[in-house]
A and B are shown apart, each in its own frame.
Chain A
Amino acid sequence: MSRALFVLVVMLGLPGFLPALAAVRRSPALFFLAPLIGAAMAAVAVEFELGVGGSLLMWYVVLSVLTNVAVIAWWWVVGGSSTQPAGPSWAWLALTVVVVGGAMVVPMTGLRTLMFGRDANSIWLTHSLMIAGGHQVLLADMRNSAYAFSNLDYPPLASAAGALAFARFGLARLHLAVDVTALLTACALGVAGASLATVTERGRPFLRVAGIVVAAAVCMAGFSLAADSAVDGRADLLWSAAALGAIICGLVLPQSKRSLVLAWICAIVASLTKNEGLTTALIVLVLIAFRYRPLSWRRQLPAHAESHARPRRRLSPTVRSWAERAAFVVLPALPGLAWLLLVHLLGVRDRFFGQHSGETPGLRAGATLNSILPHLVIVPIALAVLVVGGVFFHRARGGAGLGNPGWLWVVCLSYLAVLLATYVVGAYEIHWWLKTSAARTTIFPQLALYADLGIWLIIALDASGQLRGGGRLDAGGRLAAGGLDAGGLDAGGPLDAAGRLSAGEGPGGGQPRPAAAVKIGASTQDEQETKWRS
C-alpha cells in the first residue's frame, strides 16, 4: 500500500472509528467499517457543500467532529448501561480480519497496473474534480449541460472520497481517486464477509474456521464477479458489497441492535454510492422493517373473561408499529434521498429516462433477457441449494436464529425486476446500453446468491457435524433442532412490535420456531443476543 493510500485510510477511518466502535463493538467488521463510515460522512459533506456552500474539507471536518461528539455523548449517557455482548475473543477477531482481509490482497494487486475504467474517468473522476473545486464550481458544473454525459445525478460517495484525496495530495496523481474507490470496495466486502463469519461466532472451532473461510471466499468471489471494474475505479462492486452487507446483517443474522445498526450503515453506504444502490437499499430497508417489526394479524385476545363484555378489540398492526416501520426505512435512507432531492431541485435529470428510444418494449425486454441471463447462471444452482437446504436444513437454520432465506431472494428478484424495467423503459439504444453495463448491473444478485450458497454451506457443515456427533433426523429426514442447538450457534428470535418473540418470520410467514429454540419472555433486544442452548 502506498503511503498516500495509507494516509487516506487514516483520513477516512479515523473519524469513522468511534462511530463504528459504538455500532458494532468488538467485531471483526469494525476495521472494515470505519473507513466506510468516513466515506459516508464525506458524501454527506458533499450534500452540504452543494446545498449550503463551503468546501468538502470544511464540512467533512464539521460532520466528523459532530458525529464523534454525538457518539461520545451517547456512550456517556446510554453506552455504559448497554448489555450488548462483548463479541468474539481478540484471537478470533484477528483471525477473521486477517483471513477476510487477506483474501482480498491478491485481487487488489490489480491496482498496481494503474487501470482507469471508462466510467471511472467520465463519472467518478470528473465528479471528484468538481467536488474538490468547492461550492461554486460544483454548482456551476452540475448545471452545465456540457457535463450531461457524466450522469451528474449519481450519488457522491465514491467521488467524495476521491475529492478528499485531492484535497490532501493535490491533483498530481489522479489515480488516487481509483485507489480510494477500490479500497472502499474492499472495506465493503470486508464488512459483508466479517458479518457472514459471525454466523458461526459461537460454534465449535472447526465451524468457526469454516465460517471465516466461506466469508473470505465470498469476498474473493466479489472481485471475480466484478473483474476489472473492481480495481479500475468503478463503483458497482462497492454498492453491491454494501447492499450485501445490509442483507446479511439485516435479513440473515439473528436479530440484534448491533446487526440492525450495521445493516443500516451498509444501506446508507449503498444508497450514497449509485442510483442502483439507492433502489436496492430501499428494498432491503423495507424488508428489514418488516423483519424487525413483523406484521401480525392475530387478534389480541382479552386476558380476563370479563373483558369479553367490551366491544373494542384492537387489531394489529397498530399505528405505532407502522410508524416504527416507516422510521426503519426513512431514517437510514435519508442521506440517499437527500441527494436525490438536491439534484432534483438543481434540475439535474438522469439520462436513462425521459426520451423514447423508438424500440418496442418487447424488443428491449428480449434483448435485456438475452444479455443478463448469461450472467445469472448462479440462479438455478442457488435455487437448487435453496430447495435442498429448505428440505433438509430449514430447522437447523431457524434454530440458529438466521433469517428466512426468502428475504435474500426477495431482494434479488426485486432488484432484477427493477433492472429489467429500467432497461425496458430506458432511453438509451438497448444493445449498446446492455453491452456496456449488463456485466456490472448483475454483480449484485450474483454476489448475494454466492453469499446465500456460503450460508447454506455453513449450516450444512454444522448439521453434518452434529449428525456425526450424535444428532438425529426426524421422520421427515430433517435435522432435529436440538442438533444445531447443541452446536451452540448464537441466536435471537424475531421481535414483534411489542418486543416479544414472534412464532415465525420471513416473507411467507416462515416456520414456527422449535419450542426448545424460543426464548420466551425476553424483555429487550439485547437479551436476544445471549446464547441459548436447548
Chain B
Amino acid sequence: MFALCLHRGFDITAFERSATSVDRWSSFNQREECIYAAIRSELPRGATVFIYDRAVTYRQELTELSTLWAIPRRPRTTAQWMMTLVRGQECVDVTLKVHRR
C-alpha cells in the first residue's frame, strides 16, 4: 500500500515536472503577471471598480489581482470604474478592458 502510494507520488512529480506542465504553468503565470501589471497601469490607485464578466473565474481573478491597488465594489452604482477581460493577445489569450463609468 505504501509502495503504491509512493509510486503514485513519483508519477505526480514527474508529470508536474514534464515539459507540458511547465509550459502550461509558465503561460498561466505570464498571463497573471500581465493582468496584474495592466490593472496597475490602467487604473489609478484606490479607484473603486466594478468587475463584470460572464465567467466567474475571470471575475475572481480580476478581484484577486486588483487587491491592494483598486477597491472592488458591488453593486455597479458604487464604483467609478468598470473592468473586464476580453479575448485578446495582450495577456497571453486575454486583454484587460477598463473604462470609466
Does any Cβ of A come within 8 Å of B80's Cβ? no
Known pairs A115-B16, A116-B28, A146-B51; A453 contacts B2 (CB<8 A): yes
**Contact residues of A with B, CB < 8 Å?**
106-107, 109-110, 112-116, 118, 121-122, 125-126, 129-130, 132-133, 137, 140-141, 144-147, 149-150, 171, 174-175, 217, 220-221, 223-225, 227-228, 231, 378, 381, 450, 453-454
Pick the contact of A228: B8, B16, B64 (CB < 8 A).
Answer: B16
Determine if B71 and A122 form an interchain contact, defined as CB atoms under 8 angstroms apart: no
Pick the contact of A130: B13, B21, B67 (CB < 8 A).
Answer: B67
Pick the contact of B25: A116, A132, A144, A224 (CB < 8 A).
Answer: A116
Of the A-B pairs whose beta carbons lie under 8 Å apart in the complex, a sample of 12, sorted by A's number, is A106-B10, A107-B13, A129-B68, A130-B67, A133-B68, A147-B63, A147-B72, A150-B64, A174-B33, A228-B12, A231-B16, A381-B1
Determine if A149 and B60 form an interchain contact, defined as CB atoms under 8 angstroms apart: yes
Determine if A113 and B22 form an interchain contact, defined as CB atoms under 8 angstroms apart: yes
What CA separation (Å) do A308 and B83 show in the bound complex? 84
Interface SS of chain B: helix, strand, loop or mixed?
A: helix
Known pairs A113-B17, A121-B64; A224 contacts B12 (CB<8 A): yes
Known pairs A114-B29, A221-B9; A121 contacts B63 (CB<8 A): no
Determine if A116 and B5 form an interchain contact, defined as CB atoms under 8 angstroms apart: no
Closest to B64 in A: A126
Known pairs A114-B25, A217-B2; A149 contacts B13 (CB<8 A): no
What CA separation (Å) do A224 and B68 show in the bound complex? 35
Q: How many residues of B contact A (CB 8 A)?
A: 33
Shortest A78–chain B CB gap in Å is 42
Determine if B6 and A217 form an interchain contact, defined as CB atoms under 8 angstroms apart: yes
Closest to A148 in B: B74
B contact residues around A378 at 8 Å (CB) = 1
Shortest B85–chain A CB gap in Å is 14
Shortest B3–chain A CB gap in Å is 9
Known pairs A110-B16, A144-B72, A146-B51; A129 contacts B67 (CB<8 A): yes
What CA separation (Å) do A220 and B12 show in the bound complex? 12
A contact residues around B51 at 8 Å (CB) = 146
B contact residues around A221 at 8 Å (CB) = 2, 5-6, 9
Pick the contact of A149: B2, B33, B63, B68 (CB < 8 A).
Answer: B63
Shortest B66–chain A CB gap in Å is 9
B contact residues around A133 at 8 Å (CB) = 67-68
Q: Given contacts A109-B13, A130-B68, list 14 more A-B pairs with CB under 8 A.
A: A110-B13, A113-B16, A113-B21, A116-B29, A126-B63, A129-B67, A140-B71, A146-B51, A174-B36, A220-B5, A224-B8, A227-B12, A381-B1, A453-B2
Nearest 4 A-B pairs (CB), nearest first?
A224-B9, A146-B72, A110-B16, A129-B67
B contact residues around A217 at 8 Å (CB) = 2, 6
Determine if A112 and B60 form an interchain contact, defined as CB atoms under 8 angstroms apart: no
What CA separation (Å) do A93 and B73 show in the bound complex? 54
Determine if A109 and B17 form an interchain contact, defined as CB atoms under 8 angstroms apart: yes
What CA separation (Å) do A174 and B51 show in the bound complex? 21
B contact residues around A453 at 8 Å (CB) = 1-2
Closest to A225 in B: B5
Shortest B13–chain A CB gap in Å is 5
- Contacts of B67-91 to chain A: CB distance below 8 A: 67-68, 71-74
Closest to B79 in A: A146
Shortest B52–chain A CB gap in Å is 11
A contact residues around B67 at 8 Å (CB) = 126, 129-130, 133, 141
